[in-house]
Structure 1
Amino acid sequence: MVQGSDTASLGRGAARVRPDFEARMNYLGEQADKPLFHTSDPSQSRIVIESHPVVMRDARALAAPSLDREGFVLIRQPLPPFDYRDTAQRDGPYLVLLQDVIREALGAAKVITDTSILRLPGPDAFQVPVTRVHCDYTAGSARRLLSESWDQTLGREAGLADTAGLMAESVDAAPGERRYGRVLAVNCWRTISEPPHDYPLAVCARPSLAPQDVRVADFIEEVEGGEPYRAELSLCRYNPRHAWYSYADMRPDEVLLFLGFDFSDPGQCGAMHSAFPDPACPPDAPGRASVEVRTFVLFDA
């Protein structure tokens, strides 16, 4: 069981609970060949999309959601005073701080991270909200990204060497010889703009996801100042059993953590998620800006 702390659940009372409403989610449709999802420029994707109406519930009505049960949890952290358009600040002191916050909130022994992704509104933004139901990982891509992440208090070269050691003591060790008994891929998402948000993020509760709903796809993601990143992720077919949740009017001091992959349970997909157009958002709202980070959380055996 993933541990928590007083910061690890912001359910009832944190904000006004929004009544259920209808939203539209973009699922994977019938497709014979392997889908290709270009997360930075959907026009380059090779993917059949089916839009389905779903009931969107406010996660603030849940008493105490958890990574182990629903697959997501909200924690509180004041927005650090960094220039989030500055990659050096975003991928430097912000990630170091985030590692400490997540480790404390989840009761973990160690947290390492990938680099961050900044999503901004407007047609000229380098990265925009992703409006396709997906999970960032497959078993293969989770292992690859783990090997490419590192402790941000170290330099990249030393950090990657440290990560190799962490893997040798966890996912690559025999079960009875592991220093770290459980390793989770956890997505960390926060808005850096005030509500209302035109494209909030929604997460599908893991117990409502069936194995037959999941399909592996190739994906491409543009990287600022580098070559596009190519790997695999998981897409989702529509199922009326899916239970969708979003935190109404998330503020910059709230951080959403959701499970991407559990190395102890590789056959189970992580939490599917997607941005969606909020029908109640005023048309003159400035647009959502957000920062997300893929992290790996290690627990002592």
Structure 2
Amino acid sequence: MTTELPSGDVTATLSYLRTPATDDPSLTMMYDPLTGEETTMRTAPVEVRLTDGRKNSGDFSLDREGFALIPHRCGITDFLDRSQTEDIYPREAAALICELTGAFTAAGLGSNVRFGRSRPEDYTVTTDHNPARFVHADFTPVSAITARDMSGGVPDKYSRWAIYNVWQVWSEPPQDQPLAICDARSVAREDEDVVQIRLKAPGRDVVRSETVVYYPKPSHKWYYFSNMTVNEKLIFKGFDTDPDRPLRLPHTSFVNPLAGPDAIRKSIETRIVAFYH
């Protein structure tokens, strides 16, 4: 007898930027994902409705909503093996982005393995391994250009470039903390603010960057995909220089009210910088 997995639209709580965004208006808005010691950003819970995109998964477009669910067989056999996740996975994702979007070349920006609960004791943390639990988009113009230049694959000539997030699970469905994504068309620039990121991981220098955070608006239209598998990739826009295409996509993890106590999320993601003629 086959057990039917839980699916369907859900109501969940997302963490949005609070107003005011810091306790002291004179403070720079900061987020410290590892220790929290320098975090000054303040968020507040907001209840939202999330549509399960599973029933219409083929209807979404990177150039319209800003995201798409793509069937794709993953070449990784061990997601705790960094020789695979930091080499094979970004190369595999870059090839997929070229195939899907028509980019003439693309380069990966490493990868992040994340654990919805505790990570294995023998897995050494080199970056933030927790799912992001507040509504954000990864890149501002400043951090996007930094990422582009760090990719090591910038061609001499191109007319457009974009950054994509390639995200997938490597745990069995259902997931206790799926990824929620927001239709880019439902978001306005005035909904956004910028937070400075401080990331200090063992054996690495302090990394400072910036990302986009969001104030809640009733217009925001949220989706998730229930019961993702290892052979699916959720791809969404991180940045784009073409003003006629989605610029970036708010996203966040959330607690899935349909998942049982034994459900867990393990995921991997990479950012891909793509270039176009």
Trace 1:13-92 onto structure 2 (pairs within 5 A). Answer: 18-30=7-19, 31=21, 32=25, 33-42=27-36, 44-62=38-56, 63-92=58-87
1:299 matched to 2:273? The reply is: no
Give the match for residue 171 of structure 2. 193
Once residues 43 and 248 of structure 1 are traced to their aligned partners in structure 2, the CA distance between those partners, rounded to angstroms, is: 34
Q: Deviations 1:65-117 (Å, cap 9, x if unpaired)?
A: 11111010111111224322122221112222222122112222111110101
RCO comparison, higher one (Cα < 8 Å, 6+):
2
Give the match for residue 7 of structure 1. none
Once residues 148 and 229 of structure 2 are traced to their aligned partners in structure 1, the CA distance between those partners, rounded to angstroms, is: 29
Identity %: 29
Cα drift, residue 293 of structure 1: 0.5
1:184 matched to 2:173? The reply is: no
Counterpart of 1:139, as a letter, is P
In structure 1, stretches of 5+ residues that fail to align are: 1-14, 150-159, 170-179
Give the match for residue 265 of structure 2. 288
Give the match for residue 129 of structure 1. 131
Once residues 224 and 244 of structure 1 are traced to their aligned partners in structure 2, the CA distance between those partners, rounded to angstroms, is: 35
CA spacing shift, 1:93–1:124, aligned 2, 3 Å: closer
Trace 1:123-272 onto structure 2 (pairs within 5 A). Answer: 123-124=118-119, 126=125, 127-149=129-151, 160=152, 162-163=153-154, 166=155, 168-169=156-157, 180-223=158-201, 225-265=203-243, 269-272=247-250
Counterpart of 1:45, as a letter, is T
Greater displacement, 92-101 / 108-117: 92-101
Counterpart of 2:131, as a letter, is P
Structure 1 contact 75–105 (Cα < 8 Å) conserved: no
Once residues 17 and 241 of structure 1 are traced to their aligned partners in structure 2, the CA distance between those partners, rounded to angstroms, is: 27
Structure 2 contact 163–238 (Cα < 8 Å) conserved: yes
TM-score if structure 1 supplies the norm length? 0.80
Once residues 59 and 119 of structure 2 are traced to their aligned partners in structure 1, the CA distance between those partners, rounded to angstroms, is: 39
CA spacing shift, 1:66–1:19, aligned 2, 3 Å: same
Structure in which a larger fraction of residues adopt helix: 1
In structure 2, stretches of 5+ residues that fail to align are: none
Aligned length, in residue pairs: 261
Once residues 255 and 241 of structure 2 are traced to their aligned partners in structure 1, the CA distance between those partners, rounded to angstroms, is: 33
SS of 1:188 mapped into structure 2: strand
SS of 2:90 mapped into structure 1: helix
Once residues 267 and 83 of structure 1 are traced to their aligned partners in structure 2, the CA distance between those partners, rounded to angstroms, is: 36
